[in-house]
Amino acid sequence: FNSIPTGYPEPGKTTVYDATPTIDIDNAPLNGGFILKTLVLSIDPYMRGMMRSPETKSYSDPYFVGQPTNGLGVGVVVRSEHPDVKAGEHLYGGLTHEEYSIRKDLNGLRTIKKEHGLPWSVYVGAAGMPGMTAYMAWKEYSKAKKGDVAFVTTGGGPVGSFVIQLAKLDGMKVIASAGSDEKVKFMKDIGADVAFNYKTTSTEEILQKEGPIDVYWDNVGGEILDLALKYASVGARFIECGMISGYNGARKPIENIFLVVSKSISIQGFIIFRLEEKYRDEFYTTVPPKLAKGELKYSEEIVKGLEGIGEAMLSVQKGTNKAKVVVLVAEE
């Protein structure tokens, strides 16, 4: 991490790639810890929130200038002196964006097993944190009812596309938006009843025609949240998952906020790690087999090598990504 951005992160300025080896893999002293070889890394929207001054508090730690960026990933242990960690074991959790890292303990890491023939990339996407976000918060907050109308934003991404499928499984009519025609096609393929490109089609016209909305899954905030309030039904549930339209600049004030009162709308925000404990076992039993059988669908964009991380982070913020962005750092 090289400097704190003011707008979108700039590859080469906000983050820089440094090819200098920092660890002697065979001889580095472990002092009771272990060496992890990074296999795959997830690139997620929340990373923009970590590119901030260390004085500003948030739910996640900030990135520190001069230190490697980090995020969720899967790695394999190559050498260990730790009593609970064996060489060859795979771990999922917070990894620094390095090919190898020395860890002193399992803090923030959990053992993970590759099952059902799924590749590791899926374990940081639909079978990882973004999938958990959709699955757990939908279960906890949607109060899904057959025949209800759901509106899902960023429907081409890992969270939104999972939510579309959950809402369909619950017998709802699904309206879904995304910022490219390719993502619109994917949303139709996974069952959205109405899928549209919010950059080329009026969201207001779609909601006016296809609403009112009973459940709004918000990934964007801003103007679209305002419109969702306008076209919400009485008693609608708003699940506030993210507000990416405000991550790289000013947040737009919500003009229609009083409709929360007049339409008796409930608004539920959440951060996934507070739900994980409750649903983790159920998630891993249920979701990976369904993904493997194609009963739940996912789409991913694989970026090869750590040098692509800066561009990958930018693409997720701008929406130039095609699907869930995963960096493939190494094969086994």
Task: Pick out residues in 34-73 that bind ligand NDP (CB under 6 A).
Answer: 44-46
Minimum CB separation of residue 174 from ligand NDP in Å reads 15
Asked if 241 is part of the footprint of ligand NDP (rule: CB under 6 A), the reply reads yes
Task: Pick out residues in 219-238 that bind ligand NDP (CB under 6 A).
Answer: 219-220
Q: Which of 101, 174, 321, 326 binds ligand NDP (CB under 6 A)?
A: 321
Nearer to ligand NDP, 191 or 319 (CB): 319
Asked if 179 is part of the footprint of ligand NDP (rule: CB under 6 A), the reply reads yes
Q: How far apart are alpha carbons 8 and 313 in whole angstroms?
A: 9
Nearer to ligand NDP, 77 or 167 (CB): 167
Asked if 270 is part of the footprint of ligand NDP (rule: CB under 6 A), the reply reads yes
Q: How far apart are alpha carbons 3 and 11 in whole angstroms?
A: 10
Minimum CB separation of residue 61 from ligand NDP in Å reads 15
Nearer to ligand NDP, 159 or 229 (CB): 159
Sole window of 66-74, 92-100, 257-265, 313-321 interacting with ligand NDP (rule: CB under 6 A): 313-321
Task: Pick out residues in 146-175 that bind ligand NDP (CB under 6 A).
Answer: 154, 156-160
Asked if 249 is part of the footprint of ligand NDP (rule: CB under 6 A), the reply reads no
Nearer to ligand NDP, 257 or 271 (CB): 271
- Residue 230, classified by CB atoms within 10 Å of its CB into exposed (0-12), middle (13-18) or buried (19+), is middle
Nearer to ligand NDP, 241 or 265 (CB): 241
Asked if 191 is part of the footprint of ligand NDP (rule: CB under 6 A), the reply reads no
**Contact string (CB under 6 A) for ligand NDP, positions 111-150, x = contact:** -------------------x--x-----------------
Asked if 319 is part of the footprint of ligand NDP (rule: CB under 6 A), the reply reads yes
Count the residues of the shown chain that bind ligand NDP, applying the rule CB under 6 A.
28
Q: Could you write out the three-class secondary structure of the chain?
A: CCCCCCCCCCECCCECCCCCCCCCCCCCCCCCCEEEEEEEEECCCCHHHHCCCCCCCCCCCCCCCCCCCEEEEEEEEEEECCCCCCCCCEEEEEEECCCEEEECCCCCEEECCCCCCCCHHHHHCCCCHHHHHHHHHHHHHCCCCCCCEEEECCCCCHHHHHHHHHHHHCCCEEEEEECCHHHHHHHHHCCCCEEEECCCCCHHHHHHHHCCEEEEEECCCHHHHHHHHHCEEEEEEEEECCCHHHCCCCCCCCCCCCHHHHCCCEEEECCCHHHHHHHHHHHHHHHHHHHHHCCCCCCEEEEECHHHHHHHHHHHHHCCCCCEEEEECCCC
| Closest C-alpha among 239, 236, 175 to residue 208 | 175
Nearer to ligand NDP, 46 or 63 (CB): 46
Asked if 98 is part of the footprint of ligand NDP (rule: CB under 6 A), the reply reads no
Residues at the site binding ligand NDP, with contacts judged by CB under 6 A: 44-46, 130, 133, 154, 156-160, 178-180, 183, 219-220, 241-242, 244-245, 270-272, 316, 319, 321, 324
